[in-house]
Structure 1
Amino acid sequence: MELILASGSPRRSEILSMLTLRYRVQTSHVDEAEILLKMPQATPRELVQRLSSAKSQAVASQLDEGLVLGADTIVVLEDQIYGKPVDEQELRHMMQAFSGKTHQVFTGVTLTQATGRHSVSLTAVTDVTFRPISDEELEWYVTHANYGDKAGGYAIQEHAALFVEGIQGCYYNVMGLPVQETLALFQLMGTSWRVFGS
C-alpha cells in the first residue's frame, strides 16, 4: 500500500521523512477560501478538520488505491483566525497581535482510503506564547522571514524562534503536522504506520 501526502508543505514532508516513512507527494487543489466562506460560524477545530478532509479526499478521488494524508493548520488568537498573510502589512499586523500573548495553533489531519473513500480525522491544539516584540525586531523579521506559505506568518523552527517564550502541546503541530495524531490515524484506519516505514 502507498502513502500519499496531499500537501506541498516542505515542513510536513520533513516530518514524515524524519519518521522514516515512505510516501509521495500529490498536492490537492482545494479552494480553501471557498470552503471557509461556506462555514462562517464554524469553530477552528471544525475548520481544520473540514479543510484537511477536503484535501485528503480530493487526492483520494483521483486514485485507485493507497492512503492519502491531508492536513490544514490555522492560528487563533482571541477567537480571530489567522491564515497565511498576503503581504508585509498583514504580516506586521499578525506579529503585533501575537506580541506578548498566547495564541493557539490548530492542525487537522485526515487519512482517506482511496478504495472506498473511508476517512478518519483528528485535531491537535498547541498553545504558543510570544514574548513582547519590539518595533525594531518586527522590521527585522518582516525583512528576513519566509512567511508567505505559513499560517500566522511564522515558522517556529525558523526566525520566529526568537520570539517564542514557550509552548504547551505538540511542537510538530506548530510546524504543521502533529506526530501523535498522525500516527493514531493509521490505527483508526485499521493499519499501522510501520507498514510505510523505510
Structure 2
Amino acid sequence: MMIILASSSPRRREILGRFFEIKVYPANVEERSTVKDSREKSLDIARKKALSVSSKFPGATIVAADTMVIFRGKTLGKPRNAEEARKMLRALSGNVHKVITGYCIIHNGRIIEGVEETEVKFREIGDELLEWYISTGEWKDKAGAYGIQGYASIFVEWIKGDYYNVVGLPIKVVVELTKLGFKPKR
C-alpha cells in the first residue's frame, strides 16, 4: 500500500513522513471554494485536492489537507508580500485566532474526511520583534503569515487543541491511516 501526499507543503511532508513512507504529488487545483463556512471551505478544498490526485494513482491512498487561519470571522490566507504579512501579524498580536484544517483521505474508493480546529493566542508583538520576524522571510507561503514550528513560536502565548494542526496536518490523519492498516515506520 502506498500513501500519496497531495501537497507541496514541506511541513505536511515532514509530519506524515515521520510516520510513514510516502510519495509526494502536489495537487494542481485552485485553492478556492464557493462554500462560505470556513470549516466546510477547508474541507471542500482538501477534497478537491485528494480527488484530483486519486485518478493518477489508482490503488494508492491519497492524503490532502487545506489549512486556514481565521481571525474575527475573516480568513487570513498566505500573504503576497511583507506588508501583508506585517498587517496580518499586527492584527493577530495580543489576540486569539483559529487555525482550521480540512483533511481528506481516499482509500480503496472510500473517503475519510474531517476538520480540525485549534485556537491560538498570540502575545503582544512589538515593532522591533515584528520587523525581525518579517526579515527572516519565514512568513512566506504560510496562512496567517506565521509558522508556529519556527521563529514565530515566540509569538504564541498558548494553544488549545492539536499543535500539528497549526503546523499544517492534524495528527488525527496519522491515526486514521493506522486504522486503515498502515504501520508507522521505526
Q: Which band: TM-score by shorter chain?
A: over 0.9
Residue aligning to 1:176: 168
Measure how far apart 1:70 and its partner are: 0.3
Q: What is the 5 A alignment of 1:1-198?
A: 1-19=1-19, 21-32=20-31, 35-36=32-33, 38-39=34-35, 42-113=36-107, 116=109, 118-184=110-176, 187=179, 191-194=180-183, 197=185
CA–CA separation in structure 1 for the residues paired with 2:171 and 2:178: 12
CA–CA separation in structure 2 for the residues paired with 1:185 and 1:77: 31
SS of 2:125 mapped into structure 1: coil
CA–CA separation in structure 1 for the residues paired with 2:60 and 2:99: 29
Letter in 2 for 1:104: K
Structure 1 segments unaligned to the other structure (5+ residues): none
Letter in 1 for 2:171: V
Residue-by-residue CA offset, 1:149-198 (whole Å, 9 max, x unaligned):
111111001110111111110000000011124422663xxx2232x646
Letter in 2 for 1:103: H
Contact kept, 8 Å, 2:16 with 2:174, in 1: the verdict is no
Q: Tell me how large the CA RMSD over aligned residues is.
A: 1.5
Change in 2 beyond 3 A, CA 1:3/1:181: closer
CA–CA separation in structure 2 for the residues paired with 1:106 and 1:176: 9
Counting matched residue pairs gives: 186
Letter in 1 for 2:152: A
TM-score when normalising by structure 1: 0.88
Stretches of 4+ moved more than 3 A in 1? Answer: none
TM-score when normalising by structure 2: 0.94
Change in 2 beyond 3 A, CA 1:185/1:79: farther
Residue-by-residue CA offset, 1:119-160 (whole Å, 9 max, x unaligned):
121111111110001111111111113222111111001110
CA–CA separation in structure 2 for the residues paired with 1:145 and 1:102: 23
Residue-by-residue CA offset, 1:7-54 (whole Å, 9 max, x unaligned):
1111111111222x111001111111xx33x23xx2111011001111
SS of 1:68 mapped into structure 2: strand
SS of 2:67 mapped into structure 1: strand
CA–CA separation in structure 2 for the residues paired with 1:61 and 1:18: 26
CA–CA separation in structure 2 for the residues paired with 1:104 and 1:121: 19
